[in-house]
Amino acid sequence: MSTTTAYLGARIFTGEDWVEGMALLTGGGKIHGFVNPENLSPDAARVDASDTLIVPGFIDLQVNGGGGVMLNDEQSVEGIRTICAAHARFGTTALLPTLITDTPEITEAALRAGIEAKEANIPGFLGLHLEGPHLSLARKGAHDPKLIRPMEARDLARLLDAASHFQVLMTTVAPENATAEQVGALAEAGLLVSLGHTDSGYDTVGRYAAAGARAVTHLFNAMSQLGNREPGVVGAALNDGRLSAGLIADGFHVHPASMRAALSAKRGPGRVFLVTDAMSIIGTELTRFTLNGRTIYRENGKLTLEDGTLAGADIDMLASIRFLNERLGLPIEEALRMASVYPADAARVSDRKGSLKAGMDADFVQLTPGLDMVATFIGGVRV
């Protein structure tokens, strides 16, 4: 039985540049590299990928749900499996199921489910993102204000205990309800600390970046804005190279002009990367669902509470890439990097995910030249 598979005839984007006329060689769940088809071993299995594009698998660091499941409602291995499978249909090969602000009991249940999902090797499961509950009431967005609270010693201990069990454990906090010392302890333990749902000023964000925060959650949304005398969280996210920032590219959360300005202004090495902030309706025909007992309505590509407050997004990662390419005119290579290379860098997994190079995980997406889905592969297995 062959241990290697060769994908022939595709135009391949590695995450840096295009490879033409070569076969992509995989085996054992890894990328083996590229080879001239004439030099292929006769033992290699051959897959005809003619007239398609092969690109790095998409990485989504903020996914509240999919396939009819919200992590807030179902903290289980099967719930996580359903969410991952729903997003794999749209090219996402690694994601962080995200728990929106909830009770300590639900948070603990989500952490246990995440540990079990890792042990079960759920395809596409990268870790967890806990968005809250230590946020700002002033910038709560769709989060239930009754559940928002300061980070206490037991909350910190819970996160520190969980850190070693995950490839990636991300948490969104606001300086209003988490101290710089707490952020420092979390960062030292290996958590990816993101600042979000906060009305903090520019200098405060800088102090928290110095303490170890490395990201900003859904840039422009639920945060202080860029002003002439107070740059706010937006200004800090764009000006501070230590910080990466997630961006929801659905046309509702952020105006295309603001997206262009942010992408032009961002100082490195931190980058702006795509997130979907997707809810349970992805991959379904559902028109409404509940979150913390409140109904969220789906209409014309937008999700809102009854009062019109945006409540997550009704978009997948491939549609986000298309939006950047078609509406912003962003080169397809850069749009693809924002869905693969940059989130891998932000999550500190770029040694194995986010690009197609020898030794990396064989996570890739096959697309038509018009950016329609053909297939998704996780660890070299078509899912």
Catalytic machinery residues: 277
User: Among 130, 343, 325, which residue's Cα sits nearest to residue 246?
Assistant: 343
User: Among 15, 24, 105, 106, which residue's Cα sits nearest to residue 57?
Assistant: 15
What is the Cα gyration radius of the chain? 20
Residues in the chain: 383
